[in-house]
């Protein structure tokens, strides 16, 4: 894990930047609400204590709290947590905290942990992915659930657009995407570069996600002490079909 004196890691800089939120502002609360409602119905959740890990501005956490669950949202981004608190709407069963998903300690356990919208696979070292799953396991009661919503690698490869340009609120974002091959038998990495003008300068942000296939991701989850119950391929919770469905949503249970 990086020490506090290390240069800022890409995920600290990019997710805290207003440009990230401007570029992805279309990710809607409605999509999050529908997904949370689908999970709530599918598994008959009743008054659960839920942790939304890497919650961003809290769209899923808010939706779960509105269904009556006690929800804590945790994220590394100071600006996202500030926005999540502002949007919490005074719900007494909804709190937000800043923290690092590899090392947080909330001093409580939950019935379930949600890690949604590709909020996993950001680190260069496999140990850091293991640390995230270890932190999740430590915060779950025995039998507690994990929903880890990741991209489907085969589908993403098939649909990877090498470059495009998106304009939002007058800012032009030039985006490139590539799959960097892994070294020493390690996994490949999806690397996205986002460039835009900032006054006279060109700024570049980067986004990196480990291209974890189902056996790799499932193996990491199982090694952290979970049984995998089911896999889904989209937010309507239709079955997962490798290369055919955009998501790999893993529903697992702590042993």
Task: Give the interface with ligand SAM as residue ranges (CB under 6 A).
Answer: 11, 15, 27, 54-56, 59, 75-77, 80, 100-102, 116-119, 122
Q: Smallest distance, Å, CB 201 to ligand SAM?
A: 24
Q: Which is nearer to ligand SAM, 118 or 156 (CB)?
A: 118
Q: Smallest distance, Å, CB 144 to ligand SAM?
A: 19
Q: Which is nearer to ligand SAM, 15 or 110 (CB)?
A: 15
Q: Smallest distance, Å, CB 72 to ligand SAM?
A: 13
Q: Which is nearer to ligand SAM, 59 or 69 (CB)?
A: 59
Q: Smallest distance, Å, CB 114 to ligand SAM?
A: 8
Q: Smallest distance, Å, CB 118 to ligand SAM?
A: 5
Q: Smallest distance, Å, CB 204 to ligand SAM?
A: 18
Cβ atoms 247, 230 nearer than 8 A: no
* Three state DSSP letters for the chain: CCCCCCCCCHHHHHHCCHHHHHHCCCCCHHHHHHHHHHHHHHHCCCCCEEEEECCCCCHHHHHHHHCCCEEEEEECCHHHHHHHHHCCCCCCCEEEEECCCCCCCCCCCEEEEEECCCCCCCCCCHHHHHHHHHHHHHCEEEEEEEEEEEECHHHHHHCCCCEEEEEECCEEEEEEEEEECCCCCCCCEEEEEEEEEECCEEEEEEEEEECCCHHHHHHHHHHCCEEEEEEECCCCCCECCCCCCCEEEEEEEEC
Q: Which is nearer to ligand SAM, 1 or 181 (CB)?
A: 1
In the sheet where 226-232 sits, what is the strand order?
A: 94-98, 70-75, 49-53, 110-115, 140-151, 247-254, 226-232
Name the one residue in this structure whose structure tokens are 């994220």: 75
Q: Are strands 140-151 and 189-198 parallel, antiparallel or unpaired?
A: unpaired
Q: Which is nearer to ligand SAM, 54 or 211 (CB)?
A: 54
Q: Which is nearer to ligand SAM, 4 or 44 (CB)?
A: 4
Q: Which is nearer to ligand SAM, 67 or 181 (CB)?
A: 67
Q: Which residue is nearest to ligand SAM (CB)?
A: 56
Q: Smallest distance, Å, CB 101 to ligand SAM?
A: 4
């Amino acid at each position: 894990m990086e020490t506090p004196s290390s240069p800022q890691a890409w995920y600290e800089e990019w997710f805290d930047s207003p440009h990230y939120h401007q570029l992805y502002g279309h990710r809607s609360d409605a999509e999050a609400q529908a997904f949370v409602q689908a999970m709530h119905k599918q598994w008959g959740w009743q008054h659960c204590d839920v942790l939304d890990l890497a919650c961003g501005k809290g769209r899923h956490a808010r939706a779960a709290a509105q269904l009556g669950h006690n929800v804590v949202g945790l994220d590394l981004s100071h600006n996202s947590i500030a926005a999540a608190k502002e949007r919490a709407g005074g719900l007494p069963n909804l709190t937000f905290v800043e923290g690092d998903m590899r090392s947080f300690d909330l001093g409580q356990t939950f019935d379930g942990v949600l890690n949604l919208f590709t909020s996993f696979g950001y680190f260069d070292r496999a140990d850091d992915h293991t640390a995230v799953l270890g932190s999740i396991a430590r915060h779950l009661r025995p039998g507690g659930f994990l929903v880890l919503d990741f991209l489907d690698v085969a589908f993403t490869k098939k649909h990877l657009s090498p470059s495009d340009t998106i304009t939002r609120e007058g800012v032009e974002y030039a985006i490139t995407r590539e799959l960097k091959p892994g070294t020493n038998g390690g996994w490949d990495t999806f690397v996205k570069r986002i460039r835009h003008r900032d006054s006279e300068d060109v700024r570049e942000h980067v986004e990196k996600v480990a291209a974890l296939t189902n056996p790799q991701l499932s193996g990491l989850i199982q090694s952290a002490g979970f049984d995998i119950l089911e896999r889904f391929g989209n937010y309507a919770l239709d079955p997962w079909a490798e290369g055919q469905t955009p998501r790999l949503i893993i529903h697992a249970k702590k042993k």
